[in-house]
Amino acid sequence: MPTAWSPSSPNRVIRADNLEILPSLPEGAFTLIYLDPPFNTGRKQNRRTTTSVRVLPASEAPSEAGPGSVPRNGVPVTSPRAGGLAASGTITGFKGQLYERIKGDLLGYDDQFEDYWAFLEPRLIEAWRLLAEDGTLYLHLDYREAHYAKVLLDALFGRDCFLNELIWAYDYGAKSKNRWPTKHDTILVYVKNPQHYYFDSTTVDREPYMAPGLVTPEKVARGKLPTDVWWHTIVSPTGKEKTGYPTQKPVGILRRMIQASSREGDWVLDFFAGSGTTGAVAESLGRRFLLIDQNPESIQVMRTRFAALPEVEFLDAS
């Protein structure tokens, strides 16, 4: 089964373990990558002893290290960039050491997150490699994992590449009486190059003012730009958007990301595709998409969802 992908491929859905496919995709090909990984999927692994790596004080830290430099403290050194990852996807020398130390310290606290990060880390490194120079990664997490992930991602990708923490707030379902009911997800947004990323909020659907009496009628008519807190209902169990896939995310959430962080004709990648919301929205906005999911039910849902679209190629690489 041919799975070779290039920017001249049609919109495509692949059934596979994403890590089998990602290394074959060309570097820098995607302007936007949206990832909504399942919570806590990592295989249970033997607890590893954490290695604390010596971090050089700033005065000793190398400011530059050319490709092929000698590994320091076991961390391969490749061409450096402001973030933690080199273009090749390798963790760079100084930041790499810092990342390894933070990872060692942080993961030691929580076995479950350690397993989860072992699952996520190689996929995030691939995501970084695949992002275009002006590209943006949206990583959708829940409150149990968002904070560990933020610390690790800052160290891995570079704190200066962190763009936003988006809060998607909804109000649906049972409410705990023992604590504040948890009714939000967190979406961490990182750019490949903080000096050169694409973002155009003028193309984003505007929303009603919360206090319309405080602004002019013209402003009320125009609506306001969304902030980093997005109030949006979940996919209604009875609405027409519903595909039946249990973890389906709303079109309205994906629309904002894709409108702001990509242009018509750009490639959008989602390798935890589920019901294919990313593909449906990308296509409706004139972007192109590559979706990967390993679950046959997801592929079936996407076949139905995309049945009316002109050209979507389905491949099975599993």
Question: Residue 264 corresponds to which tokens in the numbers above?
Answer: 């018509």
Q: How far is the CB of 260 from ligand SAM (least distance, A)?
A: 18
Q: Is the Cβ of residue 219 or residue 303 nearer to ligand SAM in the bound state? A: 303
- Give the residue with the Cβ less far from ligand SAM, 56 or 251: 251
CB-neighbour burial class of residue 213 (10 A; exposed 0-12, middle 13-18, buried 19+): exposed
Q: Measured at CB, which residue is nearest to ligand SAM?
A: 274
> What number of helices (H) and strands (E) belong to the chain?
8, 9
- 116 vs 190, beta carbon nearer ligand SAM: 116
For the bound state, the minimum distance from the C-beta of residue 174 to ligand SAM, rounded and expressed in Å, comes to: 20
Tracing tokens 């589920």 back to the chain, one arrives at 274
Helix (H), strand (E), coil (C) string for 72-107: ECCECCCCCCCCCECCCCCECHHHHHHHHHHHHHHH
Q: Say whether residue 292 binds ligand SAM (CB under 6 A).
A: yes
| Residue 186 in contact with ligand SAM, rule: CB under 6 A | no
Integer-rounded Cα Rg, in Å, for the chain is 21
Among 83, 277, 291, 299, contact with ligand SAM (rule: CB under 6 A): 277
Classify each residue of 247-286 as buried b or exposed e, where b means 16 or more C-beta atoms within 10 Å of its C-beta.
ebbbebbbbbbbbbbbeeebbbbbbbbbbbbbbbbbbebe
Stretch that binds ligand SAM, among 44-52, 100-108, 161-169, 242-250 (CB under 6 A): 242-250
Q: Which stretch binds ligand SAM (CB under 6 A): 44-52, 128-136, 160-168, 268-276?
A: 268-276
Q: Kindly state the smallest distance separating residue 225's Cβ from ligand SAM, in Å.
A: 24
What part of residues 6-65 is at the interface with ligand SAM (CB under 6 A)?
17-18, 36-38, 41
Contact 54, 61 (CB under 8 A): no
Q: Which residues of this chain interact with ligand SAM, rule CB under 6 A?
A: 17-18, 36-38, 41, 245, 247-249, 272, 274-275, 277, 292-295, 298
